Copies of this chain bind each other. A is one copy, B any other.
Amino acid sequence: MRPSGRAPDQMRALTIETGFTKHAEGSCLISCGDTRVLVTASVEDRLPPWMRGKGEGWVTGEYSMLPRSTHTRSQREAARGKQSGRTQEIQRLIGRSLRAVVDMKKLGEHQITLDCDVIQADGGTRTASISGAWVAMRLAVNGLLASGAIKEDPITAHVAAISCGIYNGTPVLDLDYDEDSAADADANFVLIEGGKIAEVQATAEGATYDEEGLLRLLRLARMGCDDIFKAQAAAIK
């Protein structure tokens, strides 16, 4: 049995509150159970140097946990003077995941930065960040289309992410912190609406798993992401 009493294929309650901050071109607060992430999408005309002059845009992600988003307080990365390897790994994942559903030529010479700041953590912060970032990006791109800054919609599909794992020998969907700490294997899936995979990051912690196990996790993830796609669609209405 799962600590939360959920069924193996049961996700936590998911809510997406758009327009959470007023300055950003797009923003939302996404909650997956007790995990809450504030995502803002900022549109800038300034591209990174290696992207300039190609008539294309860029999408990138940044990620941070507030010092007391966790059970015990962590030192602020700005005070430590550097971002941890974990933070950088997650930032790179967010950027790649969103770029998988954007046509950079249609975006034109704009950069969209997706800032994902974890207000409260209870497992699955990187996957919630990706699912919320799609919503913030969608809102920002809507603004670019409405203002005429771009002519064609550069977003080709929904993208969402969810974690799955093998907990007490059973594949389960949407790990919370208690499960994540104790899981035998842990996998993050970034999926695109229509059955395509953007990214798989599956790690055995302690135990290892086989092809069959990987497939069962992937199928759970597909169920979860289908629900997230619906929640995203509802949020941007």
**Residues B208 and A218 in contact, CB atoms below 8 Å apart:** no
Which DSSP category, helix, strand, loop or mixed, fits chain A's interface?
mixed
Residue total for A at the interface (Cβ-Cβ under 8 A): 65
**Residues B23 and A69 in contact, CB atoms below 8 Å apart:** yes
Chain B residues with CB below 8 A from A218, complex form: 211, 214
Whether a CB of chain B sits under 8 angstroms from the CB of A66 is yes
The listed residue (B100, B197, B210) touching A210 by CB distance below 8 A is B197
Whether a CB of chain B sits under 8 angstroms from the CB of A199 is yes
- Cβ of A148 to closest chain B Cβ, rounded Å: 21
**Residues B42 and A68 in contact, CB atoms below 8 Å apart:** yes
**Residues B21 and A44 in contact, CB atoms below 8 Å apart:** no
**Residues B192 and A197 in contact, CB atoms below 8 Å apart:** no
Quick one: given A62-B67, A202-B199, A208-B198, are A22 and B44 in contact (CB under 8 Å)?
A: no
> CB within 8 Å of B: which of A68-106?
68-73, 76-89, 91-92, 96, 100
Which residues of A does B touch, CB under 8 Å?
Answer: 21-24, 27, 34, 38, 40, 42, 44, 62, 64, 66-73, 76-89, 91-92, 96, 100, 113, 115, 117, 119-121, 187, 192, 195-205, 208-211, 213-215, 218
Selected A-B contacts with CB under 8 Å, 22 pairs:
A23-B70, A23-B71, A38-B119, A40-B67, A62-B79, A66-B117, A73-B113, A78-B80, A79-B83, A85-B85, A86-B92, A89-B89, A96-B203, A196-B210, A197-B202, A197-B210, A197-B211, A198-B203, A198-B204, A199-B203, A200-B200, A211-B218
